[in-house]
A and B are shown apart, each in its own frame.
Chain A
Amino acid sequence: MEPSENQPLYAPQEPIFPRRVSGFFRTFKWWIMGITLGIYYLTPWVRWDRGPSLPDQAVLVDLAGRRFYFFWIEIWPHEFYFVAGLLIMAGLGLFLFTSALGRVWCGYTCPQTVWTDLFILVERWIEGDRNARVRLWNAKWDIRKWRLRLTKWIVWLMIAIATGGAWVFYFTDAPTLALDLVRFEAHPVAYITIAILTLTTFIFGGFLREQVCIYMCPWPRIQGAMMDDSTLTVAYRDWRGEPRGKKHQNTVGDCIDCMVCVNVCPMGIDIRDGQQMECITCALCIDACDDVMEKIGKPRGLIDYLALSDEEAERSGTPPRPIWQHILRPRTVLYTSLWSLVGLALLFALFIRPEIDLTVEPIRNPTFVTLSDGSVRNAYNIRLRNKHGEPRQFRISLSSEQVLRIGLEGQDRNIVTLDPDSSTQQRVYVTARPQDEAASSDRTELRFWIEDLESGERAYKNTTFNGRAN
């Protein structure tokens, strides 16, 4: 079908020049920006003693060694359920926050928002506030415009390089890699990763900004489905503000149509049009409007955190429900409980997790071997894991109600030595003599034990022994 004449197929990006704003939410967002960026840039430089064979880094994703180190926690590939659990918690946490506070993630902590905020800050320092930037946008490309634009792009680029650069430090020893990087001795993968992340940061933070939220990100759609009429979102009290008009005109509403809420909006929308997909609930319009309301001597809160359900109440003059009633609902309680349950399960799993570990793979091809004296022998592959930073010796033993003997392939004693932070596979033979009950019966329960000879730590796994009747 044909679009109507005045509607194009493609729309150019409308430039947005967010105005400086100050107030409670702006200050809160500066703090969040400082903390989140601080965590991102500084974490790889936090040191942690990891013994002689590993970099002394507190947070380290060792892809080559297939390990993840987080302070005192060490995650091995077979413990990936911790990561899955954290992702489930992140998902439930997002449900919780979205159903209670709308797109609070988008407005305050999403990297796209935080970096865009930082880029806008730089833009304002260099090119001035909104009006100056609008003038510069319309100005000819003279020397001044080039100078300002190039300065801005260079600073952006430096932030982008630092962003891409910080990312690679999570994967190897940060000080060593930093030196290698400046000496041009680092691995090409490091440079390529930095280049890609630099490019995306530069483009997303500097130029695409709100386009990322509106056109690229799936969250706005998904989050829309999680909100209901009790969810607190940024809204305009149109029953108080309308009809809007200039201060000295004889209008009834509180809104003086000063456009400041539109001018501060990083998404370029008018919140007075009601809830809309573009709004990331960054709350800057609340700060801006409150400022104006104070100046003209009207109560604050013309634009405010509001739930849809409040509208009816306020229109009819009854006081709105207190905030805790918006937040404490069956739905949010359910999300919080699920979130806590997963969290507790993960904590529990983390603390009962031994530093030494084994898995047992019974060899069932063949199920058993008859030896020349008539003994029946089963073989098992036991994988031993040493999560300590130093080599450890493990003794392998077994316990069973029946008489069974244990022997290790290639080892004279039942002791295996493991390198630091490593695993090894050891074949273990269990034998029942011809006269033993286990030799003639079908299956016998048994338990393999490993004992760290240094710390005395023990771990076990249960398995079965196949006799001749099997």
Chain B
Amino acid sequence: MSETEIDEETGIDTTGHEWDGIKELNNPLPRWWLWCFYLTIIWGIGYTIAYPAWPLLSSATTGVLGYSTRAEVAAEIAEYEARNAELRTALANADLTTLPENPDLNRFAVAGGAAVFRSHCSQCHGSGAAGAKGYPNLLDDDWLWGGDIDTIAYTINHGIRNETDPDAHWSQMPAFGEILERGEIDQTVAFVQKLSGQEHDATLAEAGAVIFEEQCSACHGEAGLGDREQGAPNLTDAIWLYGGDADALHETITYSRFGVMPAWGQRLSPSDVNAVAAYVHQLGGGE
């Protein structure tokens, strides 16, 4: 369309656009609209001067206000850190057993501990802290080395069977495949099954009782209740770190097990260690 078409009814030009017979009038815009448009242009120019805007070869203009989102985030983080500094100091020096008496500090510890747990502990213990074969479930009421909050904190601090911390929990079960005959191991397995109330071969278990008395009771106790001083598991309960069926027990007794946990005290701050301890302690199994 090159000819201007004038609407008869109103005497106003049409834009030349037509939809199913409906034409659009080319009414003039209000003048103030034009001024608003110019204002936005001026605003835009001012904005690109004040704030980072124009891309350069390796970076962009920084703007005269020197604003950057990274700096803002860094400042916000620093502000939160500063606000939490007092709580962190308090948590690092806190008597953990009385932590619930201080609800604010306790809430801070549990929330912070949950975050630390997800970053550092969930790889082995699972995001829900339910563990896996060889990695203890932290939700239940069974603890190898103790489930009161101070012991949990100690375990986190020093770890288990690691080479880096001389104070790590340490114990080692012998690989009885080198000590006992295969038949004797079968008997021991039957006795351990009996201890934990599973189905078992009574005659084998009777013989196994003698072997258990000689070989196992020093650590696991005569009744098989375990010993937290040595991290020796309770063999009478329903919880098995490596499985409680005959095959798993056979493997454990023959080759032994050697679970390792790092000394987190070397990697985390004291307040973070206490925070994780508080978090783990309130998961449902804390003593």
Q: Assuming A2-B4, A409-B284, is B15 touching A371 (CB within 8 A)?
A: no
A215 touches B30 (CB 8 A): yes
Shortest CB-to-CB span from A142 to chain B, Å, is 26
1-38 of chain B: CB within 8 A of chain A: 1-2, 4, 6, 12-13, 15-16, 26-34
State the total of A-B contacts with C-beta under 8 angstroms: 86
* Interface residues, chain B, with chain A CB atoms under 8 Å away: 1-2, 4, 6, 12-13, 15-16, 26-34, 100, 126-128, 130, 137, 139-142, 234, 237-239, 282, 284
Partner pick for A429 among B28, B34, B284, CB 8 A cutoff: B284
| Contact of A218 with B by CB under 8 A | no
B128 touches A366 (CB 8 A): yes
- C-alpha spacing A410/B107, complex, angstroms: 12
Partner pick for B237 among A4, A10, A369, A373, CB 8 A cutoff: A373
- C-alpha spacing A429/B130, complex, angstroms: 15
Other A-B pairs beyond A1-B1, A366-B130, A377-B140, 7, CB < 8 Å: A2-B4, A4-B6, A10-B33, A11-B30, A369-B137, A372-B239, A409-B282
A371 touches B31 (CB 8 A): no
| Contact of A345 with B by CB under 8 A | no
Which chain B residues border A2 with CB–CB below 8 Å?
4
B139 touches A366 (CB 8 A): yes
Partner pick for B141 among A7, A13, A371, CB 8 A cutoff: A371
Shortest CB-to-CB span from A396 to chain B, Å, is 16
Q: Assuming A369-B139, A374-B238, A409-B284, is B4 touching A1 (CB within 8 A)?
A: yes
Q: Assuming A7-B26, A371-B238, A410-B282, is B128 touching A365 (CB within 8 A)?
A: yes
| Contact of A322 with B by CB under 8 A | no
Chain A 352-387, CB within 8 Å of chain B: the 1/0 string? 000000000001011001111110010100000000
Which chain B residues border A374 with CB–CB below 8 Å?
237-238
**What are 26 A-B contacts with C-beta separation under 8 Å?**
A1-B4, A3-B26, A8-B28, A9-B28, A10-B29, A10-B30, A11-B27, A11-B29, A11-B30, A12-B30, A13-B30, A211-B32, A365-B126, A365-B130, A366-B126, A366-B139, A369-B130, A369-B284, A370-B239, A371-B141, A371-B142, A371-B239, A372-B239, A377-B139, A427-B282, A427-B284
- C-alpha spacing A108/B2, complex, angstroms: 45
Shortest CB-to-CB span from A468 to chain B, Å, is 11
Which chain B residues border A195 with CB–CB below 8 Å?
none
379-416 of chain A: CB within 8 A of chain B: 379, 409-410
B13 touches A372 (CB 8 A): no
Closest to A207 in B: B32
Which chain B residues border A10 with CB–CB below 8 Å?
28-31, 33-34
A372 touches B31 (CB 8 A): no
Which chain B residues border A211 with CB–CB below 8 Å?
30, 32
B28 touches A1 (CB 8 A): no
Which chain A residues border B12 with CB–CB below 8 Å?
7
A371 touches B30 (CB 8 A): no
Partner pick for A7 among B13, B32, B34, B137, CB 8 A cutoff: B13
Q: Assuming A208-B32, A215-B33, is B1 touching A373 (CB within 8 A)?
A: no
- C-alpha spacing A366/B282, complex, angstroms: 16
Chain A 34-73, CB within 8 Å of chain B: the 1/0 string? 0000000000000000000000000000000000000000
Q: Bin chain A's interface residue count.
A: 20 to 34
Shortest CB-to-CB span from A268 to chain B, Å, is 13
A11 touches B130 (CB 8 A): no
Chain A 1-31, CB within 8 Å of chain B: the 1/0 string? 1111001111111000000000000000000
Which chain A residues border B4 with CB–CB below 8 Å?
1-4
Shortest CB-to-CB span from A98 to chain B, Å, is 22
B234 touches A372 (CB 8 A): yes
Which chain B residues border A366 with CB–CB below 8 Å?
126, 128, 130, 139
Which chain A residues border B2 with CB–CB below 8 Å?
1
- C-alpha spacing A372/B140, complex, angstroms: 7
Shortest CB-to-CB span from B180 to chain A, Å, is 27
Which chain A residues border B29 with CB–CB below 8 Å?
9-11
**Max chain A C-beta neighbours (<10 A), residue from B13, B27, B137:** B13
Closest to B237 in A: A372
Shortest CB-to-CB span from A423 to chain B, Å, is 14
B139 touches A372 (CB 8 A): no
Which chain A residues border B28 with CB–CB below 8 Å?
7-11
A410 touches B26 (CB 8 A): no
- C-alpha spacing A366/B285, complex, angstroms: 14
Which chain A residues border B13 with CB–CB below 8 Å?
3-4, 7
